[in-house]
Amino acid sequence: MSGFLPFLLSGFEHVIPLGYDHILFIVSLFFIDSRLKTALFQCTLFTIAHSLTLAMVALKHISVNAFYVEIIIALSIFFVALENLFLRNVRPWRLIMVFVFGLIHGAGFAAALLSAGLPERNRISALLGFNIGVELAQVLLILCCYWLVARPLSQKQWYRQKLTNPLSLAIASLALFWAVQRFLQ
């Protein structure tokens, strides 16, 4: 596999359907404030951060310990989902945390990209394709959450109590389980 297009597809597939932990992270980002603009802004911040680390690790400018990266990714999902239970809108520290978590997730993306075999000849093109594929999948997730859930339901009185909070609690519980499981492996 070499070139832009195959890596674009690989980046997309790394999130949808294969990236269950990444899907839950993006959904958790969405549920703190279900306005499309807010969700896309958080996603953009996350993308900028993970793009930096993805490039640095994939191009072997830095190295990371995949064992710790996977644990921290699970803990980032736990934190973001748990925060949804207590906050109703995005605070400045949340944006900082989304950026920091993006740096960590980028290292995880790099591990996936390197295992797919980053070609020597078209490294930048492949890296760009993979990253754009990830971003397209993230935006698709946000648009689906918005059009299928938030747009028709977010104005209902019960939206947070019966939908956002239970889903966030379920995501936080699963993420904590993953963190412990990954630590014990």
Question: What is the C-alpha separation between 54 and 31, in angstroms, rounded?
Answer: 26
Nearest-10 crossing angle of helices 20-32, 36-58: 140
pLDDT of residue 126: 86
pLDDT of residue 100: 96
7 Cα distance to chain centroid: 18
* Among 107, 103, 112, CA closest to 133: 112
pLDDT of residue 2: 65
> Nearest 10 degrees: CA dihedral of 90, 103, 69, 38?
20
Question: What is the C-alpha separation between 147 and 156, in angstroms, rounded?
Answer: 15
Residues of the chain with pLDDT under 70: 1-2
Which structural domain, as residue segments, surrounds residue 162? 4-184
CB 142 within 8 A of CB 30: yes
| 112 CB neighbour count, 10 Å cutoff | 19
**Which pair of tokens denotes residue 160?**
């947070």
| The amino acid at 61 | H
Exposure of 28 by Cβ count < 10 A (0-12 exposed, 13-18 middle, 19+ buried)? buried
pLDDT of residue 107: 92
| Structural domains in the chain (count) | 1
Exposure of 63 by Cβ count < 10 A (0-12 exposed, 13-18 middle, 19+ buried)? exposed
Alpha helices in 16-117 (DSSP H): 20-32, 36-58, 66-86, 92-116
pLDDT of residue 157: 93
